[in-house]
Amino acid sequence: MADPLKLGLAGIGTVGTGLVQLIAARADTLAARTGRPIEIVAVSARNRRKKRGADVSKMRFVSDPVALANDPEIDVFVELIGGEEGAAKEAVEAALQAGKHVVTANKALLAHHGPALAALAEKNGVALNFEGAVAGGIPVVKAMREGLQGNDITRVFGILNGTCNYILTKMEREGRDFADVLKEAQEQGYAEADPTFDVGGFDTAHKLSLLTSLAFGTRPGSTAVYVEGIETITPTDIEAATDLGYRIKLLGVALRTDSGIEQRVHPTMVPKDTAIANVDGVSNCVAIDGDFIGDVMLIGPGAGGGPTASAVMSDIIDIARGIVLRPFGVKATNLKAYKKAAMRTHEGGYYIRLSVYDRTGAFAAIAQRMAMQNISLESIVQRRPSDERPGQGKTPRKKGAPQASIVMVTHETTEAAVRKALAAIQKDGHVDSKPQMIRIEKL
Amino acid sequence: MADPLKLGLAGIGTVGTGLVQLIAARADTLAARTGRPIEIVAVSARNRRKKRGADVSKMRFVSDPVALANDPEIDVFVELIGGEEGAAKEAVEAALQAGKHVVTANKALLAHHGPALAALAEKNGVALNFEGAVAGGIPVVKAMREGLQGNDITRVFGILNGTCNYILTKMEREGRDFADVLKEAQEQGYAEADPTFDVGGFDTAHKLSLLTSLAFGTRPGSTAVYVEGIETITPTDIEAATDLGYRIKLLGVALRTDSGIEQRVHPTMVPKDTAIANVDGVSNCVAIDGDFIGDVMLIGPGAGGGPTASAVMSDIIDIARGIVLRPFGVKATNLKAYKKAAMRTHEGGYYIRLSVYDRTGAFAAIAQRMAMQNISLESIVQRRPSDERPGQGKTPRKKGAPQASIVMVTHETTEAAVRKALAAIQKDGHVDSKPQMIRIEKL
């Protein structure tokens, strides 16, 4: 049996605790599978004495993560501190410079400094593995960096945020509204006290930018992602989607187009009878379209201590087996500049819901505005307000007050056309609020 | 740039043609991604001059695949001949003995001779990669051998045969019967002239036995798989499943139990609102339950030239990058003997459909037989024969003739109990044909 592979672990939160548990539970198996024992020899954490679900009392404690990264005893520095700057970045740089392999689950760090860190790793002939940084336990980095490398990828997309998917699933199943479900999710620990990063789509954008780099060999461009969150989705939208044969999911989508790469995060309608529409609750998924393989999808837990520890472990196992690959699959200095496709050139179908004043001619005026932008409609339905179901009697109506939702589904058109049409409709004064617009993804 | 990696390709059918096309289309990218050019230098095929979708005229032709395997110019022998014995086996053995890496998509060869060939590969320090042998393009071997190696796996299962899934999907969508859809699938090339290997479940069993080995570190035991095909599934079953909230899929399932490993292939009911229930047409999927990761699923094309070539290519890319792993993840000589769990100890819910004579007391007698085996029922419904829909009037009934289907869904019970109950029911003479029994998989 070869010498042990010695790990220094910085950050013992949920994922760190999971990793300590995994290595403790599986020492013999890991040694048999990799040909060498794997040991955590030293740890670093903000609070040494915090109560944890795993025993780290026998491991050497190093209070400064940078000192741990430089520790002569360790072969691999495992960074589970988090954050794009500060201790995480300094320690990872120090470890790579000291010729140590790095395993990290830090998506923010990679999304912002990925190419520079990868170049540093390559220069020093060490690994910089980040399976845990995207979609938790799902082995998608390995699939893209290794399994699908024979393919030219045209699109990568998925459900990348468990909090949003949990909220949308609950809203659909229980007919409840966003604020209500969010509040419950916060109480149950499925959503943060400040939920903006998750429900606003920004977490999805970070993860998407890493998938984009792996798919297209470009430098991560997380600031170039068009982002919409799920805050505006109403029970009426979900109900209309169901009637139309769709479900609403927050997707991150990266698509190669003639004018560049379209990166977008937004609520999306997907046909109900597809696998992706049935990825529910906190689960995540990543779908990849390649020219030889066709369409592949990976589904699994997108977060959590156990799943992410499983991903981090697979990165460590690769190192124990002597596998050291370029972090992004290609030479870091050869990563291409990210060329953004403008959102207004996006092509697809659209779901549009308008809250319309009940005036003569309003319907005709709206249809006219769509036609002027050459938008052809697949369907147009006037819906009852969602609190007024058949058989429950009618609320008395006031002339001129908002009365009904008009739901339209367009054939394929462009974002620019839809925006122009909706701006004109709003200007005409027939609607009482900002139109709702949800993109439909081709599957 | 390092020296080229030189391939000898034996077998230029659909997958071989796909591989030649892929390497021709992507020479520069592959070199950039692996750090060395990848070239097919010699080929072997039964018919040299056959018209193909790829140009092999510039490649050296070696009529004997064993001679190609021994060819001093090649680094990697790519076996796409097929078959568990004969040329494929001889050539693979020769290549491994000559210290050449082997890439194969031959599931029969691996299912029957996997451990011996893996031991030979390990002895000679070369790779024996077989991503293309299971689930076509889906990178599941890599996921199991590398991505999920930190996990203790409790179950692996999936839709592993595209022909069966295509037929079941068509039957459901179009309300047609098995024979009818099979005939059409044969005409369209989705099913073989002799469909038994596919529709009888045997192809699924082969693939399952490889997944079982990867999941549990056991020697493949393809003869120890309990196999039922989809031939007995009727439109009535599919309709009843829909009403009960299920879809019917042919699954291969390997489950670790206290008494051994349960390996079974049979039509299975899965809840309609799950991702696996929505894997349709010729698509395949593999689901893996691990202790740290939880439940993961991979979906994609399970066959075809392009997808399988993508899988074969990823095996070649690994070799070009210097990655040589043990074929089954652990030392081949350490693969454990396969210990079979008896099918009668299988636990789960069951769907049972009986074609019952309309006699006083029949219903009570049936319920009594179930109760005697301590089987508790979740539901019991008397269904109209499927050609007699509400509002279409009634067919005149004859006393004593088969009149109706009784559909029962049981709570969790054992296979032994269900079989005993059904045998007693048949013996009682209340049913006019063999009871239909479809297992329900817990997801």
Angle at B297 between CA A316 and CA B271, to 5 degrees: 150
Closest B-chain CA to A322:
B323
**What's chain A's average pLDDT?**
93
Quick: pLDDT tens for B168-185: 999 999 999 999 999 999
Q: How far is A121 from chain B (nearest CA, A)?
A: 16
Check the annotation: does B174 bind a ligand.
no
Taking an 8 Å cut-off on Cβ atoms, the answer to whether B317 and A143 are in contact is: no
How many whole angstroms separate alpha carbon A279 and alpha carbon A168? 11
Taking an 8 Å cut-off on Cβ atoms, the answer to whether B280 and A273 are in contact is: yes
Catalytic residue among B89, B100, B170, B207: B207
Annotated binding site of A for NADPH: 107
Q: How far is B355 from chain A (nearest CA, A)?
A: 31
In whole angstroms, how large is the CA radius of gyration of chain B?
25
The owner of tokens 């013996």 is B427
**From the candidate CATH numbers 3.40.50.300, 3.60.15.10, 1.10.220.10, 3.30.360.10, the one assigned to the domain spanning B143-301:** 3.30.360.10
Catalytic residue among A123, A207, A336, A434: A207
DSSP B36: S
Return the minimum-mean-pLDDT range out of A326-335, A380-389, B289-298. Answer: A380-389
Nearest CB to B149; choose among A301, A309, A314: A314
Nearest to B100 by CA among B67, B56, B133, B131: B67
- What would the two tokens of residue B163 be? 């022909």
Mean pLDDT of A226-234: 97
In this prediction, residue A190 carries a pLDDT of 86
Any idea where the domains of chain B sit in the sequence? Answer: 5-133, 143-301, 344-440
Taking an 8 Å cut-off on Cβ atoms, the answer to whether B298 and A298 are in contact is: yes
Determine the longest span between alpha carbons in chain B, in angstroms.
84
- Contact list, A142 vs chain B (CB under 8 Å): 139, 142-143, 146-147
How many whole angstroms separate alpha carbon B168 and alpha carbon B234? 10
Taking an 8 Å cut-off on Cβ atoms, the answer to whether B310 and A293 are in contact is: yes
Nearest CB to B293; choose among A152, A273, A306: A306
Q: State the pLDDT confidence band at A331, using cuts at 50, 70 and 90.
A: very high
ipTM of model: 0.93
Domains B143-301 and B344-440 are alike in CATH topology: no
Nearest CB to B297; choose among A34, A300, A304: A300
Taking an 8 Å cut-off on Cβ atoms, the answer to whether A299 and B304 are in contact is: no
How many whole angstroms separate alpha carbon A64 and alpha carbon A62? 6
Taking an 8 Å cut-off on Cβ atoms, the answer to whether B295 and A292 are in contact is: no
Q: State the pLDDT confidence band at A391, using cuts at 50, 70 and 90.
A: very low
How many whole angstroms separate alpha carbon A369 and alpha carbon B320? 58
Q: How far is B253 from chain A (nearest CA, A)?
A: 18
Distances (CA, A) of A197 to A87, B70, B212, B236: 21, 59, 41, 49
Residue B221, burial from CB neighbour count under 10 angstroms (0-12, 13-18, 19+): buried
What HEC string does A221-285 produce?
CHHHCEECCCCCCCHHHHHHHHHHCEEEEEEEEEEEECCEEEEEEEEEEEECCCCHHHCCCCEEE
Nearest CB to A296; choose among B138, B291, B293: B138
| C-alpha B260 chain-centroid distance | 21
- Contact list, B313 vs chain A (CB under 8 Å): 149-150, 292
Nearest CB to B300; choose among A150, A296, A314: A296
Taking an 8 Å cut-off on Cβ atoms, the answer to whether A292 and B18 are in contact is: yes
Nearest to B24 by CA among B38, B10, B11: B38
Closest B-chain CA to A24:
B150
Say which CATH topology domain B5-133 has: Rossmann fold (3.40.50)
Which one is predicted more confidently, B203 or A360? B203
Quick: pLDDT tens for A161-170: 999 999 999 9
Taking an 8 Å cut-off on Cβ atoms, the answer to whether A278 and B279 are in contact is: no
Q: Residue A283 pLDDT more than 80? A: yes
How many whole angstroms separate alpha carbon B380 and alpha carbon A435? 48
What is the bridge-based pairing of β-strands A5-10 and A38-44?
parallel
- What would the two tokens of residue B144 be? 């199991």
Question: Of B34, B141, B214, B292, which to mutate for an interface test with A (greatest number of A Cβ within 10 Å)?
Answer: B292
Mean pLDDT of A81-96: 96
Q: Residue length, chain B?
A: 443
Check the annotation: does B107 bind a ligand.
yes
Return phi, psi of residue A343, to 5°. Answer: -60, -30
Closest B-chain CA to A144:
B139
Q: Residue A442 pLDDT more than 70? A: yes
Using a pLDDT cut of 90, give the percent of chain A over it: 85
Q: How far is B89 from chain A (nearest CA, A)?
A: 26
Active site residue A207: yes
Check the annotation: does B12 bind a ligand.
yes
Closest B-chain CA to A139:
B147
| CATH architecture assigned to A148-301 | 2-Layer Sandwich (3.30)
How many whole angstroms separate alpha carbon B309 and alpha carbon B23? 10
Closest A-chain CA to B311:
A147
Q: How far is B16 from chain A (nearest CA, A)?
A: 13
| CATH architecture assigned to A345-440 | 2-Layer Sandwich (3.30)
Closest B-chain CA to A291:
B306
Q: Residue A261 pLDDT more than 90? A: yes
Q: B344-440: what CATH class?
A: alpha beta
With contact defined as beta carbons under 8 Å apart, do B301 and A27 qualify? no
Closest A-chain CA to B21:
A292
Q: How far is A174 from chain B (nearest CA, A)?
A: 15
Question: Of A129, A292, A325, A331, which to mutate for an interface test with B (greatest number of B Cβ within 10 Å)?
Answer: A292
Nearest CB to B299; choose among A275, A309, A310: A275
Q: What is the pLDDT along chain B (443 residues), one digit of tens a residue?
A: 789 999 999 999 999 999 999 999 999 999 999 999 999 999 999 988 888 889 898 899 999 999 999 999 999 999 999 999 999 999 999 999 999 999 999 999 999 999 999 999 999 999 999 999 999 999 999 999 999 999 999 999 999 999 999 999 999 999 999 999 999 999 998 889 999 999 999 999 999 999 999 999 999 877 789 999 999 999 999 999 999 999 999 999 999 999 999 999 999 999 999 999 999 999 999 999 999 999 999 999 988 999 999 999 999 999 999 999 999 999 999 999 989 999 999 999 999 999 998 888 888 999 999 999 999 999 998 876 544 444 444 444 455 555 788 999 999 999 999 999 999 999 999 898 999 999 999 99
Nearest to B283 by CA among A119, A399, A273: A273
How many whole angstroms separate alpha carbon B93 and alpha carbon B112? 14
Taking an 8 Å cut-off on Cβ atoms, the answer to whether A310 and B275 are in contact is: no
In this prediction, residue B388 carries a pLDDT of 46
Annotated binding site of A for L-homoserine: 192
Taking an 8 Å cut-off on Cβ atoms, the answer to whether A301 and B292 are in contact is: no
- Contact list, B137 vs chain A (CB under 8 Å): 292-294, 296
Check the annotation: does B11 bind a ligand.
yes
Mean pLDDT of A247-254: 98
What are the residues facing B406 on neighbouring strands?
B354, B382
Segment (H or E) for A196: helix A196-199
Q: Residue A388 pLDDT more than 50? A: no
Mean pLDDT of A236-261: 96
Mean pLDDT of A115-120: 98
How many whole angstroms separate alpha carbon B281 and alpha carbon B167? 8
Taking an 8 Å cut-off on Cβ atoms, the answer to whether B293 and A146 are in contact is: no
DSSP B156-213: EEEE--HHHHHHHHHHHHH---HHHHHHHHHHTTSS-SS-HHHHTSHHHHHHHHHHHH
A1: helix, strand or coil? coil
Nearest CB to B310; choose among A285, A292, A311: A292
Taking an 8 Å cut-off on Cβ atoms, the answer to whether A33 and B149 are in contact is: yes
Q: How far is B122 from chain A (nearest CA, A)?
A: 13
In this prediction, residue A390 carries a pLDDT of 45
